[in-house]
């Protein structure tokens, strides 16, 4: 849902740049979460998990009140005679029952409900408790439980991220437990329609009220459970996904129904794109929906995103969360970028790259400008008690999205998307929780590339590099280039190892090369084929950088390193013989013809003519490759053929 505020920048259509709007959106998002975040951590006991909730809620959108009955089916994970649920102390619990017998319970101002079980329960025991409660939820404003109006008509909706679910229903409220399934019964005045998670099963009417029943049969985190009630217009579309037809159901304010009708196809375009690029829509056996509500953006409620309007960027962002945030949910707010960075990347870069190229280029430029507007800041959240830090638009959204853009550039399209598909399909993660290390593990398994350096630089580290390319050409148009860099926060990252794109140009010709920038003041050579007048550094903005400079000068002398490589062609290994000062670190890197890193290996020199064995995985395809070897400021490269 965080995407909500960030996307409003696009939704409000562009009275300011993204960088300017992002500040307003992020502020609104942070303010919306702030009240809910005062007691930041779940206090539910860790001696049980919930595998099923039956939720029965009686509400009227004209009244700020809820009558609830929630039955939680649990499994004991540690021997106990009590359970602790998250629940606001401002809601009154009337009774807690097990097998129709009342249980003792206490409510606390730390927002917990402690239930005394009738006997001692052992590990693996299964049972259920029913909690009957009522009251005025402490949401309000942009809070977790809201009553408002649209066009003079009452509307009620919920939005629980990150910890607001406990404001209006008893649950386990942390990023450590998903119910396998959930049934939701909403009783409301008959003149209204109710929208919620999963598939509509029935609407039962009586004289004044109706009970709307939804069933959801996928694992779901508590903050992704939601409902909304008002006089919705309801219309159904469908989308073809990998041979399946999925219903797309919209619940829309009547006054905006025509606009939603006209724009839903844009969301369907995004769904078909994500379905192909990633994995099949995660809830393919049920449906996807969009429900209009009054929040300043959107929220990715599972199977049913709540959005303020049918804005293209907003719809694409919230939809992406169905994969990134709902199917695989960040396992800590430290890693909120796994939700927000991915959704931002999908909507701002992947979607517009295919459907709106001019907007794509603008998004890249504006988000890069936002990231480098300040020298520091990491994608990794260093203070999960601060709402401002968790939902920081510059870092969790923009820099998180650019981290993925840089991974794609570093690994190449094929490996990057295979790695993301592996992450989404990982049996340890799918329909569960993930940390950044889990994404790294999947990318490394698919690519056979060690990515510790990348995540230390761009996820944990702060800042960005500024590149200087000093270059000249000889009479044969061979360029010698010295690449130097400074960093904005050298105490955090003193050098960024990156694939750096350089484009040589004159009035009518241009040539682009990719330099693997592995050491400061690195020197490389390239046959340009014409006399260049200027060099553009990272012209397509694949990297986070700022204040780059190109200096045309005389040819720089190369500090070469004699190297011999055998066999050639090779199959599964390479012998590399060289001499280097004892104790110096040597880095071996193999790249394909597009400049993408295929394989890395490190060694420590012993000073002699030592031979190093470099194994090449069987999944590396036959073809031409470039082997680059660096040690200190010495450099060597060799072209190789794999058969």
The pLDDT tens digits of the residues spanning 597-634 come to 788 888 888 888 889 999 898 888 899 888 888 886 67
**453 and 539 inside one domain:** no
343-393 pLDDT, tens digit each = 999 999 999 999 999 999 999 999 999 999 999 999 999 998 787 888 899
Residue 297 counted as domain residue: no
Per DSSP, the three-state class of 208 is coil
* Domain closes at, from 401, 427, 460: 460
Per DSSP, the three-state class of 625 is strand
Q: Among residues 310, 317, 365, which one has the least CA distance to residue 342? A: 317
pTM, full prediction: 0.87
* Domain closes at, from 552, 571, 588: 552
Per DSSP, the three-state class of 277 is helix
**503 and 576 inside one domain:** no
With 80 as the cut, is the pLDDT of residue 475 above it? yes
Residue 603 counted as domain residue: yes
pLDDT of residue 77: 98
* Domain closes at, from 508, 523, 552: 552
Which of 133-147, 504-518, 521-535 has the weakest average pLDDT?
Answer: 133-147
Residue 59 counted as domain residue: no
pLDDT of residue 578: 87
With 70 as the cut, is the pLDDT of residue 15 above it? no
Taking residues 402-410, what's their average pLDDT?
Answer: 98
**547 and 629 inside one domain:** no
**516 and 571 inside one domain:** no
pLDDT of residue 557: 62
Kindly indicate the confidence band of residue 140, based on its pLDDT and cuts at 50, 70 and 90: low
193-214 pLDDT, tens digit each = 999 999 999 999 988 999 999 9
304-332 pLDDT, tens digit each = 999 999 999 999 999 999 999 999 999 99
Residue 7 counted as domain residue: no
**346 and 442 inside one domain:** yes
**596 and 537 inside one domain:** no
**416 and 480 inside one domain:** no
Taking residues 53-59, what's their average pLDDT?
Answer: 98
**478 and 543 inside one domain:** yes
The answer to whether the CB of 314 falls within 8 A of the CB of 321 is no
Residue 404 counted as domain residue: yes
Taking residues 217-245, what's their average pLDDT?
Answer: 96
Give the percent of the chain with pLDDT over 90. 74
pLDDT of residue 325: 98
**CB atoms near residue 176 (< 10 Å):** 15
pLDDT of residue 568: 86
Give the percent of the chain with pLDDT over 70. 92
Residue 541 counted as domain residue: yes
Q: Which two tokens stand for residue 259?
A: 């606009």
The answer to whether the CB of 541 falls within 8 A of the CB of 406 is no
Each residue of 601-624: b (16+ CB within 10 Å) or e? bebebeeeebebebebeeeeeeee
- DSSP state for residue 376 in the 8-state scheme: -
Taking residues 440-453, what's their average pLDDT?
Answer: 96
Residue 415 counted as domain residue: yes
Per DSSP, the three-state class of 592 is coil
- CB-based contacts of 491, cutoff 8 Å, min separation 6: none
Domain with 625, as residue range(s), is 563-642
Q: Provide DSSP, 389-402.
A: HHT-IIIIIIIHHH
Pairwise pLDDT comparison (55 vs 630), residue with the higher score? 55
Q: Which two tokens stand for residue 160?
A: 């629980």
With 70 as the cut, is the pLDDT of residue 144 above it? yes
- CB-based contacts of 432, cutoff 8 Å, min separation 6: 178, 219, 328, 329
Domain CATH code at residue 532: 2.60.40.1840
537-566 pLDDT, tens digit each = 999 999 999 999 999 987 666 667 888 999
- Mean pLDDT computed over every residue of the chain: 91
- DSSP state for residue 179 in the 8-state scheme: B
pLDDT of residue 362: 97
pLDDT of residue 39: 42
Q: How far apart are CA 638 and CA 409, in angstroms?
A: 22
Residue with tokens 């008690």: 385
Q: Among residues 603, 595, 601, which one has the least CA distance to residue 626? A: 595
Domain CATH code at residue 407: 1.10.390.10
With 60 as the cut, is the pLDDT of residue 24 above it? no
With 50 as the cut, is the pLDDT of residue 418 above it? yes
**427 and 521 inside one domain:** no
Domain CATH code at residue 625: 2.60.40.2550
pLDDT of residue 11: 32
With 70 as the cut, is the pLDDT of residue 292 above it? yes
pLDDT of residue 427: 98
pLDDT of residue 595: 66
Q: How far apart are CA 204 and CA 187, in angstroms?
A: 9
The answer to whether the CB of 89 falls within 8 A of the CB of 107 is yes
Q: Which two tokens stand for residue 416?
A: 């990057």
**544 and 632 inside one domain:** no
Q: How many CA atoms lie within 13 A of 144 on its CB side?
A: 27
**437 and 337 inside one domain:** yes
pLDDT of residue 27: 41
Kindly indicate the confidence band of residue 500, based on its pLDDT and cuts at 50, 70 and 90: very high
Domains of the chain: total:
3
pLDDT of residue 607: 80
**441 and 396 inside one domain:** yes
Q: Provide DSSP, 314-349.
A: HHHHHHHTTTBTTTBEESSGGGTHHHHHHHHIIIII
Residue 338 counted as domain residue: yes
């Amino acid at each position: 849902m965080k995407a909500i505020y960030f996307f409003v920048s696009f939704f409000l259509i562009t009275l300011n740049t993204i960088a300017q709007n992002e500040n307003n959106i992020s502020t609104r998002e942070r303010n919306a979460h702030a009240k809910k975040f005062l007691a930041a951590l779940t206090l539910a006991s860790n001696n049980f998990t919930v595998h099923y909730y039956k939720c029965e809620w009686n509400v009227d959108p004209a009244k700020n009140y809820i009558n609830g009955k929630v039955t939680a089916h649990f499994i004991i994970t540690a021997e106990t005679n009590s359970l602790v649920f998250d629940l606001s102390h401002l809601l009154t619990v009337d009774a807690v029952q097990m097998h129709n017998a009342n249980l003792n319970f206490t409510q606390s101002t730390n927002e917990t409900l402690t239930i005394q079980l009738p006997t001692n329960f052992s590990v693996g025991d299964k049972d259920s408790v029913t909690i009957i409660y009522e009251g005025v939820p402490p949401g309000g404003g942009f809070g977790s439980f809201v009553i408002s109006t649209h066009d003079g008509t009452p509307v009620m909706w919920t939005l629980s991220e990150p910890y607001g679910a406990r404001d209006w229903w008893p649950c386990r409220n942390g990023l450590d437990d998903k119910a396998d399934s959930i049934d939701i019964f909403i009783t409301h005045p008959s003149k209204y329609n109710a929208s919620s998670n999963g598939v509509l099963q029935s609407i039962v009417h009586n004289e004044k009220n109706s009970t709307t029943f939804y069933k959801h049969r996928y694992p779901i985190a508590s903050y992704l459970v939601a409902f909304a009630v008002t006089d919705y217009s309801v219309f159904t579309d469908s989308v073809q996904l990998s041979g399946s037809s999925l219903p797309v159901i919209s619940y829309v304010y009547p006054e905006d129904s025509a606009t939603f009708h006209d724009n839903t196809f844009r969301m369907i375009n995004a769904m078909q794109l994500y379905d192909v690029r990633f994995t099949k829509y995660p809830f393919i056996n049920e449906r996807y929906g969009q429900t209009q509500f009054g929040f300043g953006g959107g929220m990715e409620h599972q199977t049913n995103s709540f959005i303020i309007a049918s804005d293209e960027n907003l719809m694409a962002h919230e939809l992406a969360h169905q994969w990134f945030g709902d199917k695989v949910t960040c396992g800590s707010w430290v890693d909120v970028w796994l939700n927000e960075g991915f959704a931002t990347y999908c909507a701002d870069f992947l979607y517009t790259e295919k459907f709106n190229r001019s907007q794509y280029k603008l998004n890249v430029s504006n988000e890069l400008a936002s990231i480098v507007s300040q020298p520091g800041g990491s994608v990794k959240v260093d203070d999960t008690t601060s709402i401002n830090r968790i939902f920081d638009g510059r870092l969790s959204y923009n820099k998180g999205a650019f981290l993925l853009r840089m991974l794609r550039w570093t690994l190449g399209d094929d490996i990057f998307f295979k790695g993301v598909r592996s992450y989404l399909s990982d049996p340890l993660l799918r329909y569960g929780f993930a940390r950044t290390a889990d994404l790294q593990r999947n990318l490394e398994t698919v690519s056979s590339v060690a990515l510790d350096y990348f995540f230390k630089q761009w996820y944990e580290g702060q800042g960005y590099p500024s590149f200087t390319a000093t270059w000249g050409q000889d009479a044969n148009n061979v360029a010698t280039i010295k690449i130097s860099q400074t960093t904005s926060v050298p105490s955090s990252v003193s050098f960024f190892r990156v694939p750096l794109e350089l484009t040589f140009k004159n009035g009518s010709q241009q040539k682009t090369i990719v330099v693997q920038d592995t050491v400061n003041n690195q020197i490389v050579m390239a046959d340009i084929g014409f006399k260049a007048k200027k060099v553009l550094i990272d012209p397509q903005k694949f990297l986070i950088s700022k204040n780059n400079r190109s200096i045309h000068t005389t040819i720089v002398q190369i500090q070469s390193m004699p190297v011999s490589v055998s066999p050639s062609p090779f199959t599964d290994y390479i012998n590399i013989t060289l001499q280097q000062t004892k104790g110096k670190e040597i880095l071996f890197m193999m790249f394909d013809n597009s400049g993408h890193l295929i394989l890395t290996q490190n060694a420590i020199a012993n000073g002699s003519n030592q031979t190093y064995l470099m194994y090449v995985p069987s999944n590396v395809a036959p073809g031409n490759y470039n082997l680059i070897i660096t040690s200190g400021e010495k450099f060597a490269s060799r072209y190789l053929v794999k058969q």
